[in-house]
Structure formats: structure tokens, C-alpha cells
């Protein structure tokens, strides 16, 4: 594996920690009218229950059986999906890079010690032993993680999944052309603002009088990353997982792919 870009990883953590400290539910699901800590908490967690119910319906339709022992919610945010999983599994581990998100998830936990939240500040899952999870679920998370880290997590998913276990992993492959243009313009604006911020900071080594006309720097925003379907399937298969199904769709101008993968019985580790 190539060396880890620690600056990039720290930036990812700082971004999500800031978002989680300001408005954790909106940072996870930015539905209209919910910005500024205006999500109704019950409604927010109801979206998680509906999503997990539809996941289990889908798995049943496909004839994919899941043991209800231990589940991993990777990129758990405020625990929207961990809480819904905890209603079905004996034990759930929610993992997130942002301490503020994990703090929010712990505040909202209704399942006591059966649902445990972890801050993971590493591009691996070394906090877990091999082959411990019956289900790994990761939704609207890997799209925000630079692909060099996502590839490491995919290998780790293969390691921590129990033989006979199932992983359901969401990673988009790209954007529609129109959404791509809008997104690239926003990214360019954001990068320029970051550079301008750095220039201002270095210029402010000498004391300065600030003007009320100074524009505040833009808020931190999460970024988007994509992986081709071939790259994902090859990596998962190389590490002993079998693709049971691949679901594709376009949501909000993004080409979404959901990988439903299984670890055959008789396999341990990767």
C-alpha cells in the first residue's frame, strides 16, 4: 500500500468535525428546511428506520440471508442508521472519523451498551479483530472520502467481515454532466477561498486592523469522490468477497452504486 497522505486525512477529519459541531443532523442529511439545527430529531431517525427496513426487504427479495449478531455502521455520523440496526442486531458498532459526530451519536443513543460508537482516526479498522461482523453497512460516506483511503477501508471490510457475513457498500461512480459542471465550479471556488485564506493568514503575521468589510471565509464543506465500478469489484474480489448484486441509480445528479457482497463460508481474514 502507498504511504498515507496524513495532511489529506487530517483535513477530512477537521472538515467533518467542524460540520458535526455546527449542525450534525443537517451535515448528514441536508434536506430542505433543516439547516441551522432545524431537523426534527424523530423525523431524522425515522429516515434511518425506513432505510434499514428497505435494505432488509431488498436482501430478502434477493435471497441474501444475514445473521443478526454484530453489525458495523461505517461512517455512522449522528447514528441515524446505527440506531435502526440496533433494533435488529445483538450488537452494533458505529464508527466515525469526527469526534463531534460521535458525541452527537452517543447523545442520541437509545440502545445502551448494545450500540457502541467509536472515533476512528485511522485509515484502517485495526480497532476490530478479523471476522467479527455479520453485516457491514456504509451509506453516503465513502463518497466523501479520498479514494486512496476508501481502497484501504474496502480491504479492511473484507478482513473484519465474518465468513458467511454480508457487506452493503455505497460508492458512487460519478455525476451527470450538468451536476459535474456545477460541482467543479463550486470546488474551484472553494479551493481559491482556501488559498486566499492561507495568503491572508501568512500576511497577518504583522498585526493588522481588521475591517468590518472583510468577507468571512466560506464554511467548511464536504467534498465528493468517486470510484469506477470495476475498481471496486476487483478490489473486493481480490480480497475474497463475492459480489451478490450491484444496484445502480441516479440520485440528485450522482450515479450511485450499491454493492451487496458476501464472504463465503470457510474464509477467515482476507
CA distance 91 to 82: 10
Interface with ligand SAM, residue 12, by CB under 6 A: yes
Q: Is 258 in the site for ligand SAM (CB under 6 A)?
A: no
Stretch that binds ligand SAM, among 35-43, 54-62, 71-79, 108-116 (CB under 6 A): 71-79
Of 65 and 127, the one with the shorter C-beta distance to ligand SAM is 127
Name which of 53 and 65 has its Cβ closer to ligand SAM: 53
Q: Which residues of 157-185 are buried (b: 16+ CB within 10 A; e: fewer)?
A: bbbbbbebbbbbbbbbbebeeebeeebee
Helix/strand/coil percentages in the chain, nearest 5: 45, 20, 35
Quick check: 80 binds ligand SAM (CB under 6 A)? Answer: yes
CB 130 within 8 A of CB 268: yes
- Residues 170/232, Cβ–Cβ less than 8 Å: no
**Least distance to ligand SAM from the beta carbon of 217, Å?**
21
Smallest gap, in angstroms, from Cβ of residue 138 to ligand SAM?
Answer: 7
Q: How many residues bind ligand SAM (CB under 6 A)?
A: 20
Residues 136-165 that bind ligand SAM (CB under 6 A): 139-141, 144-145, 149
In this complex, which beta carbon is closest to ligand SAM, that of residue 105 or of residue 166? 105
User: Partners of 248 in the beta sheet?
Assistant: 257
- β-bridge pairing 133-138 and 242-251: unpaired
CA–CA separation, 35 and 38 (whole Å): 6
The footprint of ligand SAM on residues 27-66 (CB under 6 A) is 28
Nearer Cβ to ligand SAM (16/134): 16
Cβ 89 vs Cβ 70: under 8 Å? yes
Q: Which of 52, 85, 98, 262 binds ligand SAM (CB under 6 A)?
A: 98
Complex with ligand SAM: residue 91 or 150, whichever CB lies closer: 150
Interface pick for ligand SAM out of 52, 71, 75, 241 (rule CB under 6 A)? 75
Per CB under 6 A, the segment of 74-82, 178-186, 238-246, 257-265 that binds ligand SAM is 74-82
46: which DSSP letter? Answer: H
The residues, ordered by sequence, that sit 6+ positions from 73 with a Cβ below 8 Å of its Cβ are 79, 81, 82, 85, 92, 93, 94, 95, 137, 138
Residues found near ligand SAM in the complex (CB under 6 A) = 12, 16, 28, 75-77, 80-81, 95-98, 101, 120, 139-141, 144-145, 149
Amino acid at each position: 500500500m502507498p504511504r498515507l497522505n496524513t495532511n489529506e486525512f487530517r483535513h477530512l477529519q477537521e472538515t467533518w468535525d467542524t460540520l458535526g459541531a455546527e449542525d450534525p443532523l443537517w451535515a448528514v442529511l441536508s434536506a430542505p428546511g433543516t439547516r441551522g439545527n432545524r431537523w426534527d430529531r424523530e423525523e431524522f431517525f425515522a429516515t434511518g428506520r425506513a432505510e434499514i427496513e428497505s435494505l432488509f426487504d431488498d436482501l430478502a427479495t434477493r435471497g441474501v440471508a444475514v445473521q443478526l449478531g454484530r453489525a458495523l455502521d461505517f461512517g455512522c455520523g449522528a447514528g441515524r442508521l446505527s440506531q435502526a440496526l440496533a433494533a435488529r442486531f445483538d450488537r452494533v458498532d458505529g464508527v466515525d472519523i469526527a469526534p463531534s459526530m460521535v458525541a452527537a451519536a452517543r447523545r442520541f443513543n437509545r440502545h445502551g451498551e448494545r450500540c457502541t460508537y467509536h472515533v476512528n482516526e485511522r485509515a484502517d479498522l485495526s480497532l476490530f479483530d478479523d471476522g467479527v461482523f455479520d453485516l457491514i453497512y456504509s451509506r453516503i460516506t465513502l463518497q466523501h472520502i479520498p479514494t486512496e483511503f476508501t481502497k484501504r477501508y474496502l480491504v479492511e471490510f473484507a478482513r473484519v467481515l465474518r465468513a458467511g457475513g454480508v457487506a452493503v457498500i455505497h460508492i458512487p461512480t460519478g455525476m451527470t454532466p450538468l451536476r459535474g459542471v456545477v460541482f467543479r465550479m463550486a470546488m474551484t471556488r472553494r479551493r481559491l477561498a482556501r488559498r486566499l485564506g492561507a495568503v491572508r493568514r501568512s500576511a497577518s503575521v504583522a498585526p493588522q486592523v481588521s475591517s468590518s468589510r472583510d468577507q468571512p471565509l466560506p464554511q467548511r464543506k464536504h467534498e465528493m469522490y468517486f470510484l469506477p465500478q470495476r475498481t471496486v469489484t476487483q478490489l473486493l474480489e481480490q480480497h475474497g468477497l463475492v459480489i451478490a448484486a450491484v444496484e445502480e441509480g441516479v440520485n440528485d445528479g450522482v450515479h450511485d452504486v450499491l454493492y451487496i457482497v458476501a464472504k463465503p463460508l470457510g474464509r477467515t481474514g482476507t
